[in-house]
Amino acid sequence: MLRIGVLKEPTDHKLTVLTPSGVERLKGRAVVLVQRDAGRGAGFTNKAYEEAGAELVDSEEALLGGSDLVLSYGHRDLRNRKIEGKTFIGIFNFLWEPGHVDHYLRSGVSVHSLDLIPRSTLAQSMDVLSSVGSISGYQAVLLAAERSLATVPMITSAGGTLRPAKFLVMGAGVAGLQAIATARRLGAVVKAYDVRTASREEVESLGATFIEVEGAVDDKSAGGYATQQTEEFLERVRQRIHEEAAAADVVITTARVPGKRAPLLITEDMVMGMKPGAVVVDIAAATGGNCALTEPDQTVVRNEVTILGPTRIESSCAYSTSFLLSNNYTSFITYLLDHQEKLSEDPILSATLVVQDGHSVNQRILALQGTGK
């Protein structure tokens, strides 16, 4: 029977990609090995895994040695480990760091990177980026509310009435829409911007005001993601956002382009024009950031404006994120087992397959490697 191994993530990551309930879902199809304490950071005990039917192993080396299929959240440097003949499943972000593919070019190794899952109805239950995005948008609002000098909802008391905070959300993908919804639930007045004009309806349905700037390139083949825009258009966006940011108490930026540096939307001049005590939460920090002053995983204060650049904001809500990811991973594994005989023809499996039998095979990644990125 297939043996699936679950690696323990680095201490600062907290997440696990397979929860005890995920182990139960795989019963009858695989034996599941879990590295000891793999779920502890997310609130899942070793005992819970054992009761679900998993076998605990004490080390990464033992887990790799006993597994056919290895699960992790992100890329791991396994160059000093014996990984020949293994299949790896994770969120490896090869579009951003294609050089990491070389780590897996060894005999019999195959790799599926779930951040390449196509945005389609068939693949919806496997969409890890939507799961991570939902939690990231939610957590960004809570982080901003904690750091803001102003209350988020309108509050009336004996001392007077406090107006609701003004939020500006940049990007109306999954993370942005969740940020809008969360801020609105807390009572904020929200404005939002996205290059995709089709986002207007979703933004307005959540009770926010959509900011429209004419001239965007809207690529329907981009699978629901943002599309690279011209510098001329981005400059028009910055001029409009400059006005909106100056009035905002909180700015949350979520704009990313697969395989590209995050677009610059909040310039230093914009930050200098913001009100003292304002907060910027840039959840695109891992790919360069949407704010010119963002430092990954650092708090920057400029002109009394606080800029936060969390790169693992989803880990701060590790239990919930792990629950969602576990469902995504088990759905993908089940699909893989059912359709692996048509690997090269299947629209989901071929899209996620990056390494096959030790060779780099994904055309999107090969194109990036060819540019020397």
Domains defined for the chain, CATH in brackets: 2-126+318-370 (3.40.50.720), 148-311 (3.40.50.720)
As a whole number of angstroms, the distance between CA 197 and CA 218 comes to 8
Catalytic member of 130, 178, 326, 360: 130
User: pLDDT band for position 213 (50/70/90)?
Assistant: confident
Q: What is the pLDDT of residue 152?
A: 97
Active site residue 119: yes
Q: What is the pLDDT of residue 218?
A: 58
Average pLDDT across the chain, whole number: 93
Mean predicted confidence (pLDDT) in 7-25: 95
pLDDT at 95 exceeding the cut of 80: yes
249-263 pLDDT tens trace:
999 999 988 878 998
110-121 pLDDT tens trace:
999 999 999 899
Active site residue 130: yes
Residue 199 phi/psi, 5° resolution? -75, -15
130-166 pLDDT tens trace:
999 999 999 999 999 999 999 999 999 999 999 999 9
User: pLDDT band for position 270 (50/70/90)?
Assistant: very high
Active site residue 138: no
User: pLDDT band for position 371 (50/70/90)?
Assistant: low
8 Å CB contact between 43 and 29: no
As a whole number of angstroms, the distance between CA 232 and CA 195 comes to 13
Active site residue 356: no
Of 97, 96, 100, the C-alpha closest to 88 is 100
Active site residue 35: no
As a whole number of angstroms, the distance between CA 315 and CA 321 comes to 7
- Which residue's entry shows tokens 């009770």? 207
Catalytic member of 36, 106, 119, 364: 119
